[in-house]
C-alpha cells in the first residue's frame, strides 16, 4: 500500500442513505466494510465523522437557537455517529476506539494525541468525535487538524461525486473532473473543496488530500494502494 497512515473524513449525511435523516443500517455496514478492507491491508486508519444527518449547528442557528449552543448540539450528534460506526466496525472484527474532543468518559475516551497514535500503531481504527471541541469550527477543520496531529500521510474526503470538478457537476453538465490540482490553484479558481480554514491549514502543512466518491465500491482501497482515483490536492 502506498500510504501507511490515513485519515478519512465522512460527512454525517453519508450515513443517511435514502432515508433523509438518521442512520441507514446498510449504508453504515457498507462504510464499515470499505474501511475494514484498508485495515486488513495493514494501513493505520483514523476517521472523523460529521453529524449533519442528526443535527447541524448552522441549522440550529437558523431555527433561532443561540449559536454557540447550536454548535455544541452538532458536536454531540457526531458522537452518536462515531459510536454507530464503532459498533459496525467491531461487528466486522475491526478493533476501534472513539476519542471525543468533549470529555464523556462513560461512552468514549477523551482525545489524547499520544494515545490515539498508540492505538493506530496497534492496528485499531480511531474515530475522532465532537469536532475540535470548539464552536464555529467544522468537522472539515477537525479532520485536517487531527490528520496533522497524528502524522497522517493522506487526508481523504469521501463525497457523493468522484472528485473535484471545474464546476458543480450536479448543476453544470459541462463540468470537467480534475485528476490533480494544487491548493493554490483550487483557491484561485474558488473550487469548493473544504471550508477555507481547513483548506488553508492543509496547504500550510503540506497535507495531501484526496477527494473521491465514497459510494464507489473499493475506491477507498484503490486510493490508499496508490491508484489515480478521484482528485488529489497537493502543495504547493
Q: What is the rounded radius of gyration, in angstroms, for the C-alpha atoms of the chain?
A: 17
pLDDT for 196 equals 86
pLDDT for 190 equals 80
Percentage of the chain modeled with pLDDT above 70: 98
> pLDDT tens-digit profile of 108-166?
999 999 999 999 999 999 999 999 999 999 999 999 999 999 999 999 999 888 899 88
Query: What confidence tier does 170 reach under pLDDT thresholds 50, 70, 90?
Result: confident
Question: Averaged over 83-106, what is the pLDDT?
Answer: 97
d(CA 196, CA 204): 12
Q: Where are the domains of the chain?
A: 5-234
Q: What's the Cα-to-Cα distance from 69 to each of 54, 131, 231, rounded to whole Å?
A: 15, 14, 36
CA-closest candidate to residue 14, choices 50, 59, 65:
50
* pTM recorded for the entire structure: 0.94
pLDDT at residue 57 above 80? no
- The class of domain 5-234 in CATH terms is alpha beta
φ, ψ dihedrals at 154, nearest 5°: -155, 135
d(CA 53, CA 139): 13
Give strand pairing partners of 211.
157, 231
Cell of 123: 492496528
CB 124 within 8 A of CB 95: yes
Query: What confidence tier does 28 reach under pLDDT thresholds 50, 70, 90?
Result: very high
Query: What confidence tier does 195 reach under pLDDT thresholds 50, 70, 90?
Result: confident
CA-closest candidate to residue 70, choices 151, 11, 114, 131:
131
Amino acid at each position: 500500500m502506498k500510504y501507511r497512515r490515513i485519515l478519512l473524513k465522512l460527512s454525517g449525511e453519508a450515513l443517511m442513505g435514502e432515508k433523509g435523516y438518521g442512520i441507514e443500517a446498510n449504508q453504515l455496514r457498507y462504510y464499515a466494510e470499505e474501511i475494514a478492507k484498508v485495515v486488513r491491508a495493514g494501513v493505520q486508519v483514523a476517521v472523523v465523522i460529521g453529524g449533519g444527518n442528526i443535527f447541524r449547528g448552522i441549522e440550529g442557528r437558523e431555527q433561532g437557537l443561540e449559536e454557540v449552543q447550536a454548535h455544541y448540539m452538532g458536536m454531540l450528534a457526531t458522537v452518536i455517529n462515531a459510536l454507530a460506526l464503532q459498533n459496525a466496525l467491531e461487528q466486522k472484527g475491526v478493533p476501534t476506539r472513539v476519542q471525543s474532543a468533549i470529555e464523556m468518559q462513560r461512552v468514549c475516551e477523551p482525545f489524547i494525541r499520544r494515545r490515539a497514535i498508540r492505538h493506530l500503531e496497534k492496528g485499531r481504527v480511531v474515530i475522532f468525535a465532537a469536532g475540535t471541541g470548539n464552536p464555529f469550527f467544522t468537522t472539515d477543520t477537525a479532520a485536517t487538524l487531527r490528520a496533522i496531529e497524528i502524522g497522517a500521510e493522506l487526508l481523504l474526503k469521501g463525497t457523493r461525486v468522484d472528485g473535484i470538478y471545474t464546476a458543480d457537476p450536479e448543476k453544470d453538465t459541462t463540468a470537467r473532473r480534475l485528476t490533480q490540482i494544487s491548493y493554490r490553484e483550487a483557491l484561485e479558481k474558488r473550487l469548493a473543496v473544504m471550508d477555507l480554514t481547513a483548506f488553508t491549514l492543509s496547504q500550510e502543512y503540506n497535507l495531501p488530500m484526496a477527494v473521491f466518491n465514497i459510494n464507489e465500491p473499493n475506491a477507498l482501497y484503490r486510493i490508499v494502494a496508490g491508484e489515480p482515483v478521484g482528485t488529489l490536492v497537493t502543495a504547493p
